[in-house]
Amino acid sequence: MKISEISRMLPRLGSQDRDIESWTEEFKRVMELSDISEEKKIFAWAKECVQGRLKGVIDDLKEEEDGIIKYPSVDEIKESIEKYLNITPQEKCFNLKALRIRRGESIKDFNWRYNNYYKNLKQDFKQFITINDYADSIASRPFIRTHVITAKPEDIEKALEIAELAETAIETPNRNNNIVMFIVKNRSPTIIILNKLKNTSILENKQELLDTNKQQAFLCIEPRNTEQSSRA
């Protein structure tokens, strides 16, 4: 990849920016896409992302011993920038609470970002991140959000799993007018496909929540292809 192309892809980081987690994630992604793994080159590209004093902050991490130069890892660069900007554990916790899924971003990709934020929180602050916080972060996907809330997962890890399964249920190919049923029973999510349901007239919407004694089932019915039906 050409230098100019890599430069255009680089995530920029100013002295007023506070979301270092997102910058780190995007920078690593660009380095991977550009097939850059040499520490010296990664170090040089990291400095290209920043301006002013932040360049010096990164430069100060370079060490020389017995004529051998040692370059910092991306995570060491991240930690040094956070320290310089005085980003506290409280602020990191707030940033995670404010994190939202992007338009067009899959739940799986978002969960990867969310989990990176979460695992980098200090243990004492993880207790302040609730299932409702995660549900709010995917509020733009109301069907999946409903799954997470009604399933009442016991922890964040289980909530991420439920959301990904719900997304899978939505995306499951359904060419035979089957029903894709997402069931949470005893807090264990499962996907079931029911073939050739004859009477679907009672389901007026694509999504319907069925409540039974100790389980919730979500039905996703793909409408018939009207064009094909008219030809038949």
**Residue 87: which of 10, 26, 17, 134 has the closest Cα?**
17
Question: How high is the pLDDT of residue 155?
Answer: 95
Residue with tokens 């991306």: 74
CA-based torsion, 154, 157, 161, 164: positive or negative: positive
What is d(CA 62, CA 147) in angstroms, rounded to the nearest whole number?
Answer: 48
SS3 70: strand
Rounded mean pLDDT, 141-154: 93
What is d(CA 105, CA 113) in angstroms, rounded to the nearest whole number?
Answer: 11
Interval 84-123: pLDDT, tens:
999 999 999 999 999 999 999 999 999 999 998 999 899 9
Interval 21-59: pLDDT, tens:
889 989 999 999 999 999 999 999 999 999 889 999 999
What is d(CA 156, CA 147) in angstroms, rounded to the nearest whole number?
Answer: 14
CA-based torsion, 106, 110, 115, 118: positive or negative: negative
Question: How high is the pLDDT of residue 228?
Answer: 43
Question: How high is the pLDDT of residue 200?
Answer: 43
Q: What are the extents of the domains in the chain?
A: 3-87, 90-231
What is d(CA 100, CA 123) in angstroms, rounded to the nearest whole number?
Answer: 22
pLDDT band at 178 (very low <50, low <70, confident <90, very high): low
189 is written with which tokens?
């999510």
Residue 34 burial (CB count, 10 A): 18
Helices (H), 89-195: 89-98, 107-119, 123-126, 131-137, 142-151, 156-171
| More confident: 182 or 128 | 128
Question: How high is the pLDDT of residue 230?
Answer: 43
Give percent of the chain with pLDDT exceeding 90.
62
The three-point CA angle 123-124-128 to 5° equals: 105
**Residue 34: which of 23, 48, 45, 25 has the closest Cα?**
45
The three-point CA angle 49-46-70 to 5° equals: 160
pLDDT band at 164 (very low <50, low <70, confident <90, very high): very high
